[in-house]
Chains A and B, each alone.
Chain A
């Protein structure tokens, strides 16, 4: 939870605050999105919520409308009936035979009992209304013939309705209009319906029915509907939550178990409860796990046997080889006594024996790595010396290939805690490799250093690597072009051993290459043995190529930082697993691991 920007003691400009807010919002959105993507339960509950809300809203609106219609229809019907009956009554009272209508004061002069017709009509209607509704009588033709009942404001009768009623060509025809009923005094206005009719000439009789009760009822119904709808939606969400939890929890457990299994804990098993689909999934998972465990065991055993076999074979081959070597030396030294083909044979044998010997040595070395028996002999050395020694060792070969070295070494000493023998071997391997594939062009050797790490990059300008080959080069006996012969006579294990050496130092050995651009290998090592390597002082991609690439904005997928990082992680993981199991598993993609004979 990030603290609100305002409470920060430091004073910041609005722009900064806005940026902070934006950043936080972005982070929040990111969190939400991540949670959304990761939680099946949340997605199910949310979609249930949204869908049920939509359904409930549609149903509620429909229901409410039909209730409103039916309630109001009932009231309106009753109002119309009442009005019709009342108007019939009133027209009886207001019948013309009585003295000229609409004159309250004139009719009583004789003292007779003939009351004012308007008065009587109004009284009759009001008595019948009994306060349920109000009555208003207008007569524009007479004087003092207007009557209203109760505390109704007779101005509530809409003028438009009056105009319609006055213009009505048929007496007793009912006109209706919804309106607001206003009252004198403190009573609040309420909704209602006016029903009016013209009676006996110019009398207009209006019945004003309040619908406040209906309104309140409908409000109550509406509130109830909303309440029920909300409760229903929440209930559905809760049900969805509970139901999905029943499914998601075992799935989550299975995922965790699978993760632990993937992390190498092969004894991990799921608990089986019941016989439903999830239980069967757990059973299958457990079976799979145990089968995998068995298979992995078998493979481990097999690979151990194989490694043992390689190691044994190498050892066993050594004794006869020594004898063969001695005999071959003898033959080689006296080759001048032979005739030309025999001498040539002796030379060839000598060469191939040397290669055989170094191959055996490499095999032994790598089987030592596989067995985890390799140890470091760390000392603090100046990396420049190491580089120079390696270059010196390779010079003879370089001359043979007409290749020149270009050294870029820092002027100050470049100390690092390394096993100089192994590092020298790495560099030698890299240089041999560069000479072999450099096609006689210059080889650039760069040494770089920063506070934590040192790095050596070896760059050639040969054919380069195809995309995807950056990692394959470190495979045992891998060859870029199988048709090409090994001119220098490398064993095919050099780079594999170099990488194992680098890993042993806690460093990286990485390759970069583009077809036609050549190759660059970079060895990065921590300055202090045992510390973690966080970065390399030298770029993996040569700067001039990088510049050209940004120019063209052409990115080689294999070189994107992610890919590199993945390969690094892979390397580390392998390392880790090796230390865990105590024994290195042979990469199954390596078909040439046993092509020894």
Chain B
């Protein structure tokens, strides 16, 4: 009887415990949900720990310690770095003027004699770049020889009068700085954004996202300051950025509420694009000192602001090419067809076509050698002359439906922009006017212009900012991107996206296609390999797309495969993407 009962109890216990297992051992299969909980906002980064000068350190150790203390951004006053200086220098030293990036090392001629009153330590290396207080990156070259004089302060070596700059190694730059694309709406109040790339140190107390938004509120750099206008009211300050579930809450000071209601969209777009990769898949909410924006709240999804894309083009832009003197468009499934209108007809010979960004698009081309003509891509359209002149450069459309071209006439270079047949002269700085403009391309965001120029020393690439006042335009702030001393012959230029310019050049080693970051003035690391046998005449770019012609083919470059494939053969030339 007793054993019977024990067996029953045992079986019941087993059943109960088996049925109530905490971790389920079976169940129905289900699709796993994507984990959005990972905090993309908190980007990991490494900081330098600033150390106080060690006791009885050698002069070179003092200089090294000073360098590493400068590389620490924990304290904006650099109190620890100043400990390496003589008290007098520590007061005078102003590292905020400039940041110099170099690659080099500290060399000490000889160990100082203990009796010596002073010592010298030299830093030798190559200059890499300078970063101005605005965050603008300017590549520099040449040798750097920085001499530090050290004197004894109460038996300890200290640096006397260091340069008024922050000296950082390339490693320090990589560690402490982040490249940020800031986005500002153009001053023309058109729906769209203009990118502005800056390098800023990460503020460890606030993290990457807050550093970005603070810099965004700080305003655009000098180079495009006149071409854009931030939608954020001046005086707006960021309180903090927090994550609440799926929402990124950006908390501003009350000044943000003074934004005019037609600029709210632009303001949201600025935020969405500046925080773009940090907030993927999340909603952004703007708050004012923790309260909802204007009482009713302001929430939006970053993906809703795709039409503000500074690259303007859709993800898969329509490509065109010339074949047999006629203009064709590339079909989705391969092959091509004639475009409608005058450009698709044999009647008139034309060259260097450019396609506008509107719909239906227009084609601008050099016709008859006496001007830039424009034809609608619609049946029965005719070529109409918009810009008259001989020796005009190939036309380029901007997003405002202006056709741009330049000419050399009467010993000066003139740049024209034409709208609906009306050509206007563009104001250009004097040094441009004296040189020759061989080709120009207006960026798709309409804020910059890339020019292949020659002022006698050889071809160079210059970048200017387009400032528009009413109908009038002005090219300003011209910077040299590729100098004449590069030893390369520049063949063609094309905008790939709003920040990068494709430069096709020819040197001793054959042709080379490089991507240049226009705002940093340096070539990107990714070099597009070219077939050395093929001679390429023209290139055209769009985000993630590059087309080139050569050997009677139009080819497209696949970034994944790092290889070219033919898009259209049989004498196809001159590939074109809209704008750019």
Contact among B50, B105, B204 for A184, CB-based, below 8 A: B204
Q: Would you give the 0/1 interface string for A103-142, flagging 1 where the beta carbon is closer than 8 Å to chain B?
A: 1111111010001100100110011011100001110000
A119 touches B44 (CB 8 A): no
The answer, yes or no, to whether A149 is at the interface (CB within 8 Å) is yes
Q: Which residues of B contact A136 (CB under 8 A)?
A: 49
A148 lies within 8 A of B49 (CB): yes
Q: Determine the residue in chain B with the shortest Cβ distance to A122.
A: B46
Complex CA gap A110/B474 in Å reads: 45
Query: Contacts A105-B104, A106-B106, A143-B65 given: A119-B175 contact, CB under 8 Å?
Result: yes
In the complex, which residue of chain B has the Cβ closest to the Cβ of A136?
A: B49
Please, how many angstroms separate the alpha-carbon atoms of A146 and B69 in the complex? 10
Q: Mark B94-137, 1 if CB is under 8 A from A, else 0.
A: 00000000011110000000000000000111100000000000
A127 to B43, CA, bound (A): 10
Report A448-466 residues with CB < 8 Å from chain B CB.
none
Taking the complex as formed, is B179 at the interface, i.e. its CB lies under 8 A from any CB of chain A? no
Residues of B with C-beta under 8 A to A127: 44
Partner of A185, one of B43, B44, B105, B207: B207
Give the contacting residue for B49; candidates A107, A119, A138, A184; CB below 8 A: A138
Check: B488 CB closer than 8 A to any chain A CB.
no
Q: Which residues 205-262 of B sit at the A interface, judged by CB distance below 8 A?
A: 205-207, 240
Which has the most chain A C-beta neighbours within 10 Å: B43, B45, B61, B65? B45
Using Cβ atoms and an 8 Å threshold, which residues of chain B touch A111?
103, 126
- A572 lies within 8 A of chain B by Cβ: no
Q: B68 contacts which chain A residues (CB < 8 A)?
A: 104-105, 143-146
Cβ-based interface call for B420 (8 A): no
Inter-chain CA distance A375–B57, complex, in Å, is 129
Asked if A39 CB lies within 8 Å of chain B CBs, one says: no
Q: Find chain B residues with CB under 8 A from A145 CB.
A: 68
Asked whether A126 lies within 8 Å of B105 as measured between CB atoms, the reply is no
**CB neighbours of B67 from chain A (8 A):** 104-105, 144
Beyond A144-B64, A144-B71, whether A108 also contacts B169 by CB under 8 A is yes
Residue B39 interfacial (CB < 8 Å): yes
Shortest distance between the CB of B179 and any CB in chain A (Å):
17
Chain B residues within an 8 Å CB radius of A130: 44
Residues of chain A in range 199-232 having any CB-CB distance to chain B below 8 Å: none
The total of chain B residues at the interface (CB under 8 A) is: 40
Whether a CB of chain B sits under 8 angstroms from the CB of A574 is: no
Identify which of residues 135-184 in chain A touch chain B, using a CB-to-CB cut-off of 8 Å.
Answer: 136-138, 143-151, 154, 184
Bound: A266/B54 CA distance, A = 107
Q: Given the complex, which residues of B lie within 8 Å of A109, measured CB to CB?
A: 103-105, 124-125
A506 CA to B42 CA in the complex, in Å?
98
Find out whether the CB atom of B170 lies under 8 angstroms from the CB atom of A123.
no
Given known A-B contacts A104-B172, A185-B205, A186-B240, A131 and B39 have beta carbons under 8 A apart: yes
- Interface majority SS (helix, strand, loop, mixed), chain A: loop
Within 8 A of B (CB), among A322-354: none
Q: Which residues of B contact A185 (CB under 8 A)?
A: 203-207
* Distance in angstroms between the alpha carbons of A123 and B126 in the assembled complex: 24
Chain B residues closer than 8 Å to A154, beta-carbon distance? 49
Interface size on A, residues (CB 8 A): 34
Contact B44 A126 (CB under 8 A): yes
Closest residue of A by beta carbon distance from B49: A146
B48 at the interface (CB under 8 A from A): yes
Is B51 on the interface with A (CB-CB < 8 A)? yes
Q: Which residue of A lies closest to B69 (CB)?
A: A144
Query: Interface SS of chain B: helix, strand, loop or mixed?
Result: mixed
**A129 cross-chain contacts in B, Cβ below 8 A:** 44
Residues 400-423 of B, flagged 1 when their CB comes within 8 A of A and 0 if not, give: 000000000000000000000000
B169 and A148 form a contact (CB under 8 A): no
What A residues does B43 contact at CB under 8 A?
131
Q: Nearest A residue to B74 by beta-carbon distance?
A: A184
Chain B residues in 8 Å Cβ range of A103: 64
Find out whether the CB atom of A150 lies under 8 angstroms from the CB atom of B44: yes
Q: Which of B42, B54, B105 lies in contact with A105, CB distance below 8 A? A: B105
Q: How many angstroms between the C-alpha atoms of A150 and B203 in the bound complex?
A: 10
Is there a chain A Cβ closer than 8 Å to B531's Cβ? no
**A143 engages B51 (CB within 8 Å):** yes
A540 to chain B, nearest CB (A): 74
Out of A143, A149, A184, which one reaches B44, CB within 8 Å?
A: A149
Query: Given that A104-B171, A109-B125, A184-B74 are contacting pairs, would A147 and B47 also be in contact in the complex, using a CB cutoff of 8 Å?
Result: yes
Contact at A104–B240, with CB atoms within 8 Å? Answer: no
Task: Known A103-B64, A104-B172, A184-B205; judge A147-B105 contact (CB<8 A).
Answer: no
Write the chain B residue with the least CB distance to A138: B49
Q: Which residues of chain B are within 8 angstroms of A151 by Cβ–Cβ distance?
A: 204-207
Interfacial chain A residues near B61, Cβ < 8 Å:
143
- On chain A, the residues within 8 Å of B175 by CB distance are 119, 123
State the CA gap A111–B67 with chains docked (Å): 18
- Could you give, for residues 183-218 of chain B, a 1 whenever the CB lies within 8 Å of some chain A CB and a 0 otherwise? 000000000000000000001111100000000000
Q: Could you tell me the distance between the alpha carbons of A454 and B566 in the complex, rounded to whole angstroms? A: 140
Tell me the minimal C-beta distance from A486 to chain B in angstroms.
81
Known contacts: A108-B103, A185-B206. The answer to whether A150 contacts B45 by CB under 8 A is yes
Q: What are the nearest 8 A-B pairs in CB distance?
A: A144-B68, A146-B49, A185-B205, A109-B105, A184-B205, A143-B64, A122-B46, A106-B105
Give 10 pairs: A residue, B residue, CB < 8 Å, sorted on A.
Answer: A104-B171, A105-B123, A108-B171, A109-B105, A116-B171, A129-B44, A138-B49, A147-B47, A148-B49, A186-B205
> Interface of A with B (CB < 8 Å)?
103-109, 111, 115-116, 119, 122-123, 126-127, 129-131, 136-138, 143-151, 154, 184-186
11 new A-B contacts at CB < 8 Å, known A105-B169, A144-B64, A151-B206 = A104-B169, A105-B67, A108-B104, A108-B125, A144-B51, A144-B67, A144-B68, A145-B68, A146-B48, A149-B45, A185-B204
